[in-house]
Structure 1
């Protein structure tokens, strides 16, 4: 520890070396292992070929890996200064989606920027974590007990939720709301404040349901009874359950899954990629992937606990909750526990915006670990 402190007080090149040394490379290895599992599955989804899924995904991960390490070097003070500009920019992009967004599967969720397809709702989650952590970092215990100080962050959460719902993207809007709720709780909300927030939830659910699009209501109806429309709205979840069950304990074998290789399984490279894992590798393979996801989540929570400043704790918690909700929604969806919501499995499903968003989040998480001993207000070097 004394050696690290001496390096931090040395020349910038030595300080950079010290930060690289402090990165949890075991955690980076876990992330790479999960991405490798995604590559193998995407290779199978293309019928045993690197294109069109596996190779582009590997290239995105390589870019994301460099981005992650770069962000991990940034000190907390830089992240705090960047929080509000990033949030405002992400909200502007969400608003732009509603006016000039690219339409896909009945929803406007993407922008085409420089020939690249971007999904702003993914990056809004990262910006939300940063701005809420920056806000709550400055509040003391007395201010947390004053509802007036909680109205601005409540609006900060509500604005992107409303914009994402208008796309419409119910799954991502739910995750954004979940991230906000977790950070409010972790920041020290009083019990009576939590009760006041929970009371209107049933009414809000009723109002939200009345404003759902027809295809979204069909998803809920199909979730309750998939067999009511086996060739239409219920097709996806029925095929998913067949694939999950057909793998047995050890699976049908790599590149030999019947539902996936014969193209009965819809969206097998994105939303339903976990069913390909279960079909080809069986219960053992599925449990291995779930265990890896759980270790990554718990590792992020540990980083939050070890941080000695409130901003770092909240950022690490927010990123961990985001990753957890990604996994929870996707796995619950493909198993038929919740309605289909179009949420990918992080680092495994095919997709550029989701991949880069997750890697940016891991970069922030590693930054809180690298700078875990920083104390704001003390004359410590970044």
Structure 2
């Protein structure tokens, strides 16, 4: 399926869905708590459609979740667990990518629980671990990462409001809604969620990245030494990245590492954020990125792989500067060695050398550092600075 081709089921159901969302928001504002008139209709769609659109799954699940919230608001983590199980059940006939993407509301609610209920840490960690395992399994089941990456219909914005109803005002702008709905990614990542052509695959990457960061943040504050903490973070991050095997996830993670601060300020203090950043630098610089090599049909298209390598190049430069400023010469050497041996660097060099007229005019640097490679790419024999910037947009 073409990533930018709207799902036919979504198109045919869009008028009904929009009207139902509009009526729901009005009824909720008027104090209604029984939405069975909506759930009965959309329940039939879920059972009759072989691959229900994400929007239908979300609306039905949101109706059920909001109804439950009114009956018992004291068991927040249990409600989130029920929501997770509901979304898993409702998306059982969907492809693997969509099964991950539909979990965005779960991450939002879990983040709310983390921020507000410090005494529920054990329950939250257990549920987060369950979500991580589920996402890992679905990534392993996914024989083609680009299958089912159809556009989300325009109802996406309205559906975010459905999930956020009661938490925001009626005049809240969509960007503000989205910041609350997807709290563990950067503004730059969220901008990609409002652009034309935003698809299910990108949303799945956002969900995976949020779950990843949430799981790592929960390791802080456990009373263990910094050495043990860094070891657990490093092992956990490496295992999750290897298990997820997702282009969009890694691309989003790398882009957030280019930001001045990771979007975890609600969970970590500035000192802990620095610890997490360094651990993530360790992982993304030294990992093999074997998921990018053709395996079981999983390989990002050439343009995406090139862009991933370019983003990684700048992250590598940031990482080396970071550890150098901290006076860690051993780690600087380790980063440089890992950089020079990386599959992504090899891919970049091959791409540069394959450009018309470049091979005879451009000499590869004797020592590969991020700065040297950037200079080589920016060489007048390769492209203009403007062209280079356009490549990674």
What TM-score, normalized by structure 1, do the two folds share?
Answer: 0.33
What TM-score, normalized by structure 2, do the two folds share?
Answer: 0.33
- Greater relative CO (CA pairs within 8 A, separation 6+): 1
